[in-house]
């Protein structure tokens, strides 16, 4: 399980606990979700490559190091990943954005795709897929399979909570994709749990008929 990374930083664990409280309001949940995504972004991007550039400071010319944010793509699994995405963009505002729309079939619990939009030139980009909940792993696995068809340079998967079934599913189907999570939780596949079952508001994708048409152009600037 060397590709499983549990981010146990005290601030991450503190805010995750506050977010999962039964009496957490919708506003506090959204705020904490964004803060957690920002904190986790530091760990997830720890090994991002740097390049040297020459800059002018008030005192002298110097060589500094920067990341190429435009080579990074943050991919949100709709709808739940949207709030997580905003927090990540606080750290890497120059990143491009992609979206995968999936809903879970109520009978089979399998993921069905209804939307897919990625920036061009994916073969030159590194991808971070964000989704707050890794439960059965069916949606995440389907998203990664679809994403690999664009042949990105690398893929990472980031979630707040991960069930053992979801971890096992991704490790079996995509052993090359590292998983970053703030916490692991108990079994999920018996009932096909939603975010609410683990003290997270219901934000999981449902039927495509509920998908707002306006999202067809969402984050167009980041996707170019």
- Kindly indicate the confidence band of residue 50, based on its pLDDT and cuts at 50, 70 and 90: confident
What's the length of the chain?
A: 224
Contact between 163 and 139 (Cβ < 8 Å):
no
Q: Which two tokens stand for residue 127?
A: 């991808």
- Tens-digit pLDDT profile for residues 99-111: 999 887 788 777 7
Residue 78 scores a pLDDT above 70: yes
Phi/psi zone of residue 216: left (φ > 0), alpha (ψ -120 to 50 degrees), beta? alpha
Residue 204 scores a pLDDT above 70: no
Query: In terms of pTM, does the model score above 0.95?
Result: no
Task: Return the higher-pLDDT residue of 72 and 214.
Answer: 72
Contact between 7 and 156 (Cβ < 8 Å):
no
- Tens-digit pLDDT profile for residues 152-202: 999 999 999 999 999 999 999 999 999 999 998 876 544 444 444 444 444
Q: Which two tokens stand for residue 80?
A: 């739940």
3-state secondary structure 54-105: EEECCCCEEEEEECCHHHEEEEEEECCHHHHHHHHHHHCCCCEEEEEEEEEC
CA distances in angstroms from 79 to 33, 50, 94, 206, listed in the order given:
14, 32, 22, 8
The pLDDT value given to residue 184: 86
Residue 77 has φ and ψ, to the nearest 5°, of -85, 110
The pLDDT value given to residue 185: 82
The pLDDT value given to residue 83: 80
Residue 218 has φ and ψ, to the nearest 5°, of -65, 140
Please state, rounded to an integer, the average pLDDT across all residues of the chain: 82
């Amino acid at each position: 399980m060397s590709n499983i990374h549990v981010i146990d930083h005290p601030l991450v664990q503190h805010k995750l606990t506050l977010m999962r409280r039964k009496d957490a309001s919708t506003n506090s949940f959204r705020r904490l979700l964004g803060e957690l995504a920002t904190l986790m972004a530091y760990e997830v991007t720890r090994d991002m490559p740097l390049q040297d550039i020459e800059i002018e400071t008030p005192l002298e010319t110097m060589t500094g190091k920067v990341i190429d944010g435009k080579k990074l793509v943050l991919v949100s699994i709709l709808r739940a990943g949207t709030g997580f995405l905003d927090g990540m963009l606080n750290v890497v505002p120059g990143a491009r954005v992609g979206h995968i729309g999936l809903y879970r079939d109520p009978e089979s619990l399998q993921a069905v795709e209804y939307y897919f939009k990625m920036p061009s030139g994916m073969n030159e980009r590194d991808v971070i897929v964000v989704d707050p909940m890794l439960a059965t792993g069916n949606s995440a696995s389907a998203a990664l399979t679809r994403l690999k068809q664009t042949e990105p340079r690398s893929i990472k998967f980031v979630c707040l909570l991960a069930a053992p079934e979801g971890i096992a599913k991704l490790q079996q189907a995509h052993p090359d994709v590292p998983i970053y999570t703030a916490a692991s939780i108990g079994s999920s596949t018996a009932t096909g749990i939603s975010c609410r079952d683990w003290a997270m508001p219901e934000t999981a994708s449902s039927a495509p008929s509920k998908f707002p048409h306006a999202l067809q152009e969402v984050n167009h600037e980041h996707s170019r």
